[in-house]
């Protein structure tokens, strides 16, 4: 019912502009209901800035109305700021007599923020499981509180014509909901039902459509040990019965993924708890609107096939985040847990189009569960872990992208192009850094095409044209080539400086800081490969103050794939040519053919294709191989993960660490790793368990970094420490390091919702490059 304002009453009018993620989250209906609550008249509309409101009413009513915009905002909304402009002496005939939602307006330069895709809400779940509801078992049910957003939008404002739902005209019932201010589907852009919305279809591996109940057919196929390609929210999954060793092995063979851990999806939290130990923080993360894959500690005896995560004590679990997933897992014949791995071939992006999936996945899947709603942009599953009491993203994608990070100062409009591995890019506009979804490794034509398409998509959505590009210093990165091809004056940022910058940007840390970066490799420009460094850094520059001692990297990148080479290198660093003799080698290295070791030995003796590296990642590889845990990496980080697993199994009682030795070279502190080889070999000879040795190594590294930082604090007076790099994803390392640094009085900052691996590099590039450019 319209609210009428008497002319004799003193009425004020405000123009209110709300900035942030306020489109696609039910914000306009929320504003409408607030206006009804407080007797405010006027209108609300989407525009390129966010949400614009004209509000007229009594002063006290307007005050309450504006306060409630932020305090009572919809759960999925993220308000950055609210601008309020009073209108002087508004004429009575200009004051609206009721409150309206107006059509969106468009302009030249959008600056609103697009909401990420959101997991299905409890209300929609209840509807699809209620036989009396008109959306019973409808797999594309959504409302203003959940459903697709970023993955279906092509441009702003976020209205149905600008999404892939534009082809589905709403039926009378859906239209009535859409226009009812009291309905939670009021202006829900993807609103649909079985009468008017997208539909499922079931196909065999030749692409032939097969009639019948699609969900029942998929459940039966999975129960029979077959692989099903499922078109989801941001792309395809390959699904299989996670409790069947035969089904998981079949999927691994087809995907050529021999041992890399696979994520699973289960029906509910109770089922998840039957497979993993889950604390309150982890349960909250599993059930959050983002619904990421959460890394959890496996229970020792479960129905899960050992082939899901061989040799690893953690399991990645997610709950159903779409009605489709929920309905599939609710089928009586569906297995208790489903492996849900990315629907792609190795080194290719996930498939999003039906025709593409039928062509590329036909040798991987037995069946295809498809639908006819287009996915505009690929969005993979996010991966998270609770470490040191906080949510830490290992992969930032669905549910989190493209939520921006607010930068502390104005910058130019920047495109930061990211790294080569775990790539993401970053767009900075109006001091807001939009970190893209996970792109992955830029190692194939298909992945590079995905990279370029994603940049074009986000630029179109944001109405963005870069004034400046920023890239890694590595001259051979495809991302660096992309940056140089599009801007003559591309700013280069050193890899580890960008790692530090990413944490500073996310955590709003002002420099200078002591930045500890531990990873696999970072381009240095001096002929060596960085990877275990401590820097004095701020936004303007950096100085290396400490590092791990150099190891030889025999064969370059091949050494990362074959950790036994790094074990031999560590022995060689300590023993010299004697390391090539079998009598000085631990039992694990005796499994490698002597001719192979002699060949690598000659490379090291002659200095052929053996760059020096201070890489912490390669040191982890060396120790893992010495212990016989991993001689060959089937996937990135395998040796380090197995070493962490061994260290965690040593129990709560921390064994004595190996002694720390520091030297100085050209003013740089050197953490000497050479003594480790002798100490580890002595422990192996004494039959010390591998778990104890692994724990001692972890403690040695933490003690070494603590000792270095204490000494550097005395030199610099700086007690702020930033932790970054892929090795910081090691939970034992990160938590022990943070705890000991806090004990010594340091203020410690580590990445949280921005990955500390190379997935966060682009934010650091933007943060540093933007400062340099202004």
pLDDT tens digit sequence for 344-381: 998 899 999 999 999 999 999 999 999 999 999 999 99
**Given this model, what pLDDT does residue 4 score?**
46
CB atoms within 10 A of CB 603: 17
The CATH homologous superfamily to which domain 546-750 belongs is ATPase, nucleotide binding domain (3.30.420.40)
- pLDDT for 514-556, tens place per residue? 999 999 999 988 889 999 999 999 999 999 999 999 999 999 9
**Given this model, what pLDDT does residue 76 score?**
83
**How confident is the model over 750-761, as a mean pLDDT?**
98
**How confident is the model over 667-692, as a mean pLDDT?**
94
**Given this model, what pLDDT does residue 773 score?**
53
Domain boundaries, the chain: 12-101, 207-370, 546-750
**Given this model, what pLDDT does residue 637 score?**
96
Answer yes or no: is pLDDT of 702 > 70.
yes
Q: Phi and psi for 662 in degrees, rounded to 5?
A: -115, 140
Say how far apart CA 417 and CA 479 lie, in whole Å.
6
Answer yes or no: is pLDDT of 8 > 70.
no
Say how far apart CA 644 and CA 731 lie, in whole Å.
8
12-101: CATH topology is: Alpha-Beta Plaits (3.30.70)
87-91, 249-253, 769-773: which is most confident: 249-253
Annotation marks residue 28 as catalytic: yes
Contact indicator for 337, 266 with CB cutoff of 8 Å? yes
What tokens appear for 142 in the block? 């959504």
Instruction: Enter the DSSP assignment of 545.
Output: E
Residue 24: pLDDT band (50, 70, 90) is: confident
pTM for the whole structure:
0.93
**Given this model, what pLDDT does residue 47 score?**
86
CA dist list (Å): 431 to 368, 406, 451, 518: 43, 6, 23, 29
- Helix H or strand E segment including 294: strand 293-298
> Identical fold at 12-101 and 546-750?
no
Answer yes or no: is pLDDT of 109 > 70.
no
| CB neighbour list of residue 71: distance below 8 Å, 6 or more residues apart | none
What is 34-94 written as a DSSP string? Answer: HHHHHT-EEEEEEETTEEEEEEEE-HHHHHHHHHHHHHT--TT-EEEEEEEEEETT--GGG
**How confident is the model over 102-125, as a mean pLDDT?**
81
**Given this model, what pLDDT does residue 3 score?**
47
Answer yes or no: is pLDDT of 397 > 60.
yes
Task: Name the residue among 222, 219, 171, 177 with its Cα closest to residue 197.
Answer: 171
Cα dihedral 601→606→607→609 (10° resolution): -70
207-370: CATH topology is: DHBP synthase (3.90.870)
**Given this model, what pLDDT does residue 422 score?**
97
Answer yes or no: is pLDDT of 91 > 70.
no
Say how far apart CA 640 and CA 130 lie, in whole Å.
48
**Given this model, what pLDDT does residue 2 score?**
41
Averaged pLDDT of the chain: 94
**How confident is the model over 1-19, as a mean pLDDT?**
72
Of 50 and 14, the structure prediction assigns the larger pLDDT to: 14
Contact indicator for 404, 416 with CB cutoff of 8 Å? no
Answer yes or no: is pLDDT of 1 > 50.
no
Say how far apart CA 2 and CA 4 lie, in whole Å.
6
What tokens appear for 681 in the block? 């070999």
**Given this model, what pLDDT does residue 15 score?**
96
Instruction: Enter the DSSP assignment of 621.
Output: H
| CB neighbour list of residue 391: distance below 8 Å, 6 or more residues apart | 281, 285, 384, 385, 752, 753
To 5 degrees, how large is the angle CA 414–CA 420–CA 421?
Answer: 120
The catalytic residue among 43, 46, 191, 757 is 46
- pLDDT for 705-738, tens place per residue? 999 999 999 999 999 999 999 999 999 999 999 9
The catalytic residue among 28, 185, 360, 429 is 28
| CB neighbour list of residue 248: distance below 8 Å, 6 or more residues apart | 240, 241, 242, 262, 305, 307, 308, 339
CA dist list (Å): 388 to 84, 287, 563, 651: 40, 20, 29, 18
């Amino acid at each position: 019912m319209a609210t009428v304002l008497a002319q004799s009453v003193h009425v004020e009018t405000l123009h209110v502009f709300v900035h942030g993620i306020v489109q696609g989250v039910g914000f306009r209906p929320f504003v409408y209901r607030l206006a009804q609550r407080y007797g405010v008249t006027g209108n609300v509309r989407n525009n390129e800035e966010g949400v614009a409101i004209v509000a007229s009413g009594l002063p006290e009513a307007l005050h309450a109305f504006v306060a409630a915009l932020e305090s009572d905002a919809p759960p999925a909304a993220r308000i950055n700021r609210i601008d309020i402009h009073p209108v002087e002496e508004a004429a009575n005939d200009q004051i609206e007599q009721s409150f309206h939602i107006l059509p969106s307006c468009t302009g030249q330069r959008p600056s609103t923020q697009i909401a990420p895709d959101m997991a299905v809400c409890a209300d929609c779940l209840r509807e699809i499981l209620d036989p009396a509801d008109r959306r019973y078992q409808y797999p594309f049910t959504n409302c203003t509180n959940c459903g697709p957003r970023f993955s279906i939008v092509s441009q702003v404002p976020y209205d149905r014509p600008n999404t892939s739902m534009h082809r589905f005209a709403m039926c009378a019932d859906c239209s009535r909901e859409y226009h009812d201010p009291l309905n939670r589907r009021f202006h829900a852009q993807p609103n649909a039902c079985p009468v008017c919305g997208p539909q499922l279809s079931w196909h065999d591996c030749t692409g032939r459509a097969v009639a019948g109940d699609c969900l029942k057919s998929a459940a039966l196929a999975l129960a029979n040990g077959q692989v099903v390609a499922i078109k989801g929210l941001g792309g395809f999954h390959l699904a299989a019965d996670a409790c069947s060793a035969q089904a998981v092995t079949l999927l691994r063979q087809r995907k050529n993924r021999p041992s890399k851990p696979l994520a699973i999806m289960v029906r509910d939290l109770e089922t998840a708890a039957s497979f993993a130990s889950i604390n309150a923080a982890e349960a909250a993360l599993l059930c959050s609107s983002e619904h990421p894959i959460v890394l959890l500690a496996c229970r020792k005896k479960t129905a899960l096939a050992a082939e899901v995560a061989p040799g690893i004590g953690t399991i990645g679990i997610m709950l159903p985040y779409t009605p489709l997933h929920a309905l599939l897992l609710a089928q009586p014949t569906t297995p208790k847990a489903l492996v849900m791995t990315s629907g792609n071939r190795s080194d290719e992006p996930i498939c999003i189009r039906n025709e593409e999936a039928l062509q590329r996945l036909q040798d991987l899947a037995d069946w295809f569960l498809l639908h006819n709603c287009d996915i505009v942009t690929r969005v993979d599953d996010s991966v998270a872990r609770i470490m040191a009491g906080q949510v830490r993203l290992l992969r930032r994608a669905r549910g989190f992208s493209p939520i921006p990070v607010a930068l502390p100062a104005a910058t130019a409009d920047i495109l930061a192009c990211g790294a080569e591995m775990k790539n993401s890019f970053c767009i900075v506009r109006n001091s807001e850094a939009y970190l893209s979804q996970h792109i992955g490794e830029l190692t194939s034509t298909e992945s590079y095409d995905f990279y370029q398409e994603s940049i074009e998509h986000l630029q179109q959505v944001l109405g963005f044209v870069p004034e400046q590009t920023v890239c890694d210093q590595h001259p051979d990165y495809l991302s660096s080539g992309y940056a140089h091809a599009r801007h003559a004056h591309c700013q280069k940022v050193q890899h580890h400086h960008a790692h530090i910058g990413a944490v500073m940007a996310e955590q709003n840390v002002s420099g200078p800081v002591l930045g500890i970066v531990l990873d696999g490799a970072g381009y240095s420009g001096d002929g060596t490969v960085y990877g275990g460094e401590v820097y004095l850094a701020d936004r303007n520059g950096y100085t290396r103050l400490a590092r791990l001692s150099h190891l030889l990297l025999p064969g370059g990148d091949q050494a990362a794939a074959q950790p036994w080479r790094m074990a031999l290198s560590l022995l060689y660093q300590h023993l010299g040519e004697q390391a090539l003799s079998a009598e000085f080698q631990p039992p694990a290295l005796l499994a490698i053919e002597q001719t192979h070791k002699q060949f690598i030995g000659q490379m090291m003796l002659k200095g052929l294709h053996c760059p020096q590296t201070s890489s912490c990642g390669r040191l982890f590889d060396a120790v893992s191989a010495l212990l016989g845990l991993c001689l060959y990496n089937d996937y990135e980080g395998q040796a380090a993960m197995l070493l962490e697993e061994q260290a965690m199994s040593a129990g709560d009682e921390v064994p004595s660490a190996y002694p720390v030795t520091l030297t100085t070279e050209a003013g740089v502190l050197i953490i000497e790793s050479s003594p480790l080889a002798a100490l580890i070999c002595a422990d192996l000879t004494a039959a010390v368990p591998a778990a104890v040795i692994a724990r001692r190594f972890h403690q040695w590294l933490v003690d070494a970094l603590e000792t270095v930082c204490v000494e550097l604090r005395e030199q610099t007076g700086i007690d702020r420490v930033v932790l970054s790099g892929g090795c910081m994803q090691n939970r034992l390392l990160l938590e022990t390091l943070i705890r000991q640094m806090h004990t010594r009085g340091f203020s410690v900052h580590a990445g949280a919702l921005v990955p500390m691996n190379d997935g966060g590099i682009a934010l650091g590039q933007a943060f540093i490059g933007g400062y340099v450019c202004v």
